[in-house]
Amino acid sequence: MRIDALRLIAYGPFTDVNLDLSKGREGCHLVYGLNEAGKSSALRALRHMLYGIPERSADNFIHPYAKMRIGATIRNRKGDVFVYIRRKGRGHTLRAIDDASVMEEAELQKLLSGVDVDLFTTMFGMGYDDLVRGGRDIVQGGGDSGQLIFAAGSGIVNLTEIQNDLQLQVDELFRPSGQKPKINAALGRLSRNRRELRDAQLPGQEWVRHDAALQAALNKKKTIEEELIVLRRDLNRLQRIWEALPLIAERRELAGELATYGNAVLLPEEFAEERQELLVKIGIAETGRDRAMKNIAAHQQAIVTLDIDTGLLDVAQQIEEVYRELGSQRKAAKDRLALQTRRNTLLGEAREILRSLREDLTLEQAERLRIKKNEAVKIQELGIQYERIITRIEDAREKLPALSREITDIKKDIGALEAPPAVEGVRAALAQAAEFGPLEKQNRTEQVDIMTVRETIAIEQSRLELGHHNADDLEALEAPSADTVKAFEDRFDVLQRRIDDLGRDIGKTRGHLQQVERQIDAHRLEREVPTEEDLQAAREKRDRGWQIILRRLNEAPVPKDELKAYVSATRGAQNLAEAFEADLLRVDAVSDRLRREADRVATKARLLADQTAAGGQLAQLDEDFVSAETEKKDLSAEWVAVWQPLGIVPRSPKEMGQWTRRFRSLTEKVSEVRVRQTKADALKEDIDAQRLKLVQGLRGSSGPAVAVDESLSGLIKRAQKWVQDADDLSLRRGQLLRDKARREKELDAAQSRLEQNEKERREWQQQWEEAVRSIGLTAKALPAEANAVMDDLRSLFDKLKEAGILEKRIAGIDRDSDAFVRQVDHLMAAVARDLVDRPSDEAALELHTRLNRSREARSKLETLQKQLAQERGRLDQARDDILQVETRLMNKCQQAGCNSADELPEAERRSNRRRQIESDLKKIDTRLHKLSAGATVEDFIEKALALDPDGIAGEIDRLTAAIEDLEIAKSELDQTIGSERTELSKMDGSARAAELAEEFQVILGGLDNDVAHYARLKLASKVLSLAIERYRDKSQGPLLKRASSLFSRITGGSFAGIRAEFAEDGRPVIVGVRSDGGNIVTVEGMSDGTADQLYLALRLAGLETYLNNNEPLPLIVDDILIMFDDDRAAATLQVLAELSHKTQVIFFTHHRHLVELAENTIDAAELVLHTLER
Partner 1 sequence: MFKFIHTADIHLDSPLHKLDRYEGAPVDEFRQATRRAFENLVQLALAEKVAFVLIAGDLFDGDWKDYNTGLFFVAQMARLRDAGIRVFIVAGNHDAANKISKTLRLPDNVITFPTENPATFRLQEINVAVHGQSFASPVVKKDLSIGYPKADSGFFNIGLLHSCLTGREGHEPYAPCSPEGLRNKGYDYWALGHVHQKERVLGEPPIVFSGNLQGRHARETGPKGCMLVSVEDSPRVDIEFKPTDVVRWLATDVKVAGSESGYDIVDLFGRRLIELLDDNEGLPMAVRVRIEGETHACDEVLADLERWSNEIRSSALEIGSGRVWVEKVNFKLTPPSSIKRLKHAEGAIDELLKLFNELAAEPESRLRLATELSDLEKKLPRELKEGVDAIRFHDPDWLGEMLDQVRPMLIRRLLKKGTTE
Out of 397, 1034, 1152, 1153, the only residue in the binding site for partner 1 (CB under 8 A) is: 1034
Out of 1031, 1047, 1055, 1147, the only residue in the binding site for partner 1 (CB under 8 A) is: 1031
Cβ–Cβ under 8 Å, residues 1041 and 1102: no
Q: Is 199 in the site for partner 1 (CB under 8 A)?
A: no
| Residues facing residue 1080 across a β-bridge | 1073
Out of 106, 525, 553, 649, the only residue in the binding site for partner 1 (CB under 8 A) is: 106
Q: Is 377 in the site for partner 1 (CB under 8 A)?
A: no
User: 203 to 232, contacts with partner 1 by CB under 8 A?
Assistant: 203-208
C-beta of 199 vs 562, nearer to partner 1:
199
| Sheet with 1068-1074, edge to edge strand ranges | 1055-1062, 1068-1074, 1080-1081
Q: How far is the CB of 174 from partner 1 (least distance, A)?
A: 6
| CA atoms of 116 and 127, how far apart (whole Å) | 19
Q: Which window, 116-124, 401-409, 462-470, 565-573, contacts partner 1 (CB under 8 A)?
A: 116-124
Q: How many other C-beta atoms lie within 10 A of the C-beta of residue 762?
A: 9
Out of 1016, 1037, 1159, 1173, the only residue in the binding site for partner 1 (CB under 8 A) is: 1016
- According to DSSP, the β-strands at 1167-1171 and 28-32 are parallel
Q: Which window, 792-800, 895-903, 965-973, 981-989, contacts partner 1 (CB under 8 A)?
A: 981-989
Q: How far is the CB of 1040 from partner 1 (least distance, A)?
A: 14
Q: Is 995 in the site for partner 1 (CB under 8 A)?
A: yes
Q: How far is the CB of 469 from partner 1 (least distance, A)?
A: 58
Q: Is 107 in the site for partner 1 (CB under 8 A)?
A: no
Out of 8, 17, 49, 115, the only residue in the binding site for partner 1 (CB under 8 A) is: 115
| CA atoms of 1067 and 981, how far apart (whole Å) | 72
| CA atoms of 920 and 905, how far apart (whole Å) | 23
C-beta of 158 vs 636, nearer to partner 1:
158
Q: How far is the CB of 48 from partner 1 (least distance, A)?
A: 9
User: 118 to 137, contacts with partner 1 by CB under 8 A?
Assistant: 118-123, 125, 130
Q: Is 1106 in the site for partner 1 (CB under 8 A)?
A: yes
Cβ–Cβ under 8 Å, residues 460 and 662: yes
Q: Is 185 in the site for partner 1 (CB under 8 A)?
A: no
C-beta of 428 vs 1015, nearer to partner 1:
1015
Q: How far is the CB of 646 from partner 1 (least distance, A)?
A: 56
| 888-892 CB contacts, 8 Å cutoff, 24+ apart | 888/278, 889/275, 889/278, 889/279, 892/271, 892/274, 892/275, 892/278
Q: Is 179 in the site for partner 1 (CB under 8 A)?
A: no
Q: Is 982 in the site for partner 1 (CB under 8 A)?
A: no
Q: Is 190 in the site for partner 1 (CB under 8 A)?
A: yes
Q: Which window, 608-616, 700-708, 971-979, 1099-1107, contacts partner 1 (CB under 8 A)?
A: 1099-1107
Residues across the chain: 1174
C-beta of 62 vs 166, nearer to partner 1:
166
- Give Cβ neighbours of residue 531 (< 8 Å, ≥ 6 apart): 601
Q: Classify the C-alpha dihedral 315-320-326-329 as positive or negative.
A: negative
Out of 327, 599, 1009, 1076, the only residue in the binding site for partner 1 (CB under 8 A) is: 1009
Q: Is 1018 in the site for partner 1 (CB under 8 A)?
A: yes
Q: Is 5 in the site for partner 1 (CB under 8 A)?
A: no
Q: How far is the CB of 442 from partner 1 (least distance, A)?
A: 50
Q: How far is the CB of 137 from partner 1 (least distance, A)?
A: 13
Q: How far is the CB of 1110 from partner 1 (least distance, A)?
A: 4
Q: Classify the C-alpha dihedral 971-976-979-985 as positive or negative.
A: negative
C-beta of 47 vs 1042, nearer to partner 1:
47
Q: How far is the CB of 1018 from partner 1 (least distance, A)?
A: 5
Q: Could you please report the per-residue DSSP string of 241-290?
A: HHHHHHHHHHHHHHHHHHTTTTTS----TTHHHHHHHHHHHHHHHHHHHH
Cβ–Cβ under 8 Å, residues 977 and 218: yes
User: 1109 to 1148, contacts with partner 1 by CB under 8 A?
Assistant: 1109-1110
User: 882 to 901, contacts with partner 1 by CB under 8 A?
Assistant: none
Closest CA to 687 of 449, 432, 407, 373: 432
| CA atoms of 278 and 888, how far apart (whole Å) | 8
Out of 879, 992, 1067, 1174, the only residue in the binding site for partner 1 (CB under 8 A) is: 992
Q: Which window, 198-206, 709-717, 866-874, 909-917, contacts partner 1 (CB under 8 A)?
A: 198-206
Distances 512 to 122, 509, 610, 611, 954 between C-alpha atoms, Å? 71, 5, 9, 9, 163
Q: How far is the CB of 1091 from partner 1 (least distance, A)?
A: 19
| CA atoms of 354 and 792, how far apart (whole Å) | 9
In this structure, what DSSP letter does residue 1146 have?
Answer: E
Cβ–Cβ under 8 Å, residues 86 and 72: yes
From residue 844 to residue 863, the character string flagging contacts with partner 1 as x (rule: CB under 8 A) and all else as - is: --------------------
Q: How many other C-beta atoms lie within 10 A of the C-beta of residue 1112?
A: 20
Q: Is 1171 in the site for partner 1 (CB under 8 A)?
A: no
Q: Is 102 in the site for partner 1 (CB under 8 A)?
A: no
The SS3 assignment for 989 reads coil
User: Terminal CA-to-CA distance of the chain, rounded, Å?
Assistant: 27
Q: Which window, 200-208, 298-306, 802-810, 1159-1167, contacts partner 1 (CB under 8 A)?
A: 200-208
Q: Could you please report the per-residue DSSP string of 511-579?
A: HHHHHHHHHHHHHHHH-PPP-HHHHHHHHHHHHHHHHHHHHHHTT----HHHHHHHHHHSTT--SHHHH
User: 138 to 167, contacts with partner 1 by CB under 8 A?
Assistant: 149-154, 156-157, 159, 162, 165-166
User: 40 to 99, contacts with partner 1 by CB under 8 A?
Assistant: 44, 47, 54-55, 58, 90
| CA atoms of 998 and 993, how far apart (whole Å) | 9
| CA atoms of 885 and 878, how far apart (whole Å) | 11
C-beta of 714 vs 1068, nearer to partner 1:
1068
